[in-house]
């Protein structure tokens, strides 16, 4: 069972992933937060594998369109999330896809809100990304 300082995950099917737990709070748009991280993840591709270079960029584009209420963004994200994992030389695209797939599941209510016109919250930048300008 994964453990971190002061945190014990009681559901065995829950993985700690990168080993970081951040409470987003209710003031920020969680999908916008995820989108910022997705942009950073895509920027970290070493540019050697097509599925990584083009796949993570496509996922960023999908999430951007989903944020703007385009249902095709959601459908394309589902398709790309099935295509990207396992096709890079390292696990970077796999981890990126897992993060985004998890976000779509965990923030399902927010996905529906965005597809219905938006969640009404700003993106406060709660999730830290290097440089902070993504």
Q: Six-digit token pair at 30?
A: 């969680």
Crossing angle of helices 50-67 and 92-106, rounded to 10°: 20
Q: In the set 92, 99, 101, 134, which binds ligand SF4 (CB under 6 A)?
A: 92
Residue, CB closest to ligand SF4: 88
CB-wise, 30 or 96, nearer to ligand SF4?
Answer: 96
Number of neighbours of residue 92 by Cβ within 10 angstroms: 17
Residues touching ligand SF4, count (CB under 6 A): 11
Residues in contact with 17: Cβ distance below 8 Å, sequence separation at least 6, in sequence order = 95, 98, 99
CB-wise, 101 or 113, nearer to ligand SF4?
Answer: 101
Least separation in angstroms between CB 107 and ligand SF4: 25
CB-wise, 48 or 68, nearer to ligand SF4?
Answer: 48
Q: In the set 24, 49, 83, 126, which binds ligand SF4 (CB under 6 A)?
A: 49
Q: Which stretch of DSSP H or E encloses residue 3?
A: strand 3-4
88 binds ligand SF4 (CB under 6 A): yes
- 8 A C-beta contact, residue 95 and residue 56: no
- Render 100-124 in DSSP notation, one character per residue: HHHHHHHTHHHHHHHHTT-------
Segment contacting ligand SF4 by CB under 6 A, of 2-10, 16-24, 44-52, 57-65 = 44-52
Q: Which residues bind ligand SF4 (CB under 6 A)?
A: 45-49, 52, 88-90, 92-93
């Amino acid at each position: 069972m994964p453990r971190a300082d002061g945190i014990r995950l009681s559901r065995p099917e829950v993985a700690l992933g990168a080993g970081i737990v951040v409470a987003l709070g209710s003031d920020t748009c969680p999908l916008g937060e995820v989108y910022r991280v997705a942009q950073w993840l895509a920027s970290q591709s070493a540019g050697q594998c097509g599925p990584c270079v083009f796949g993570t960029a496509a996922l960023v584009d999908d999430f951007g369109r989903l944020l703007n209420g385009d249902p095709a963004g959601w459908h394309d994200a589902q398709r790309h999330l099935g295509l990207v994992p396992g096709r890079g030389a390292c696990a970077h695209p796999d981890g990126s896809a897992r993060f985004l797939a998890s976000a779509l599941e965990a923030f399902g209510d927010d996905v529906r809100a965005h597809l219905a016109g938006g969640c009404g919250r700003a993106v406060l930048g709660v999730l830290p990304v290097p440089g902070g300008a993504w």
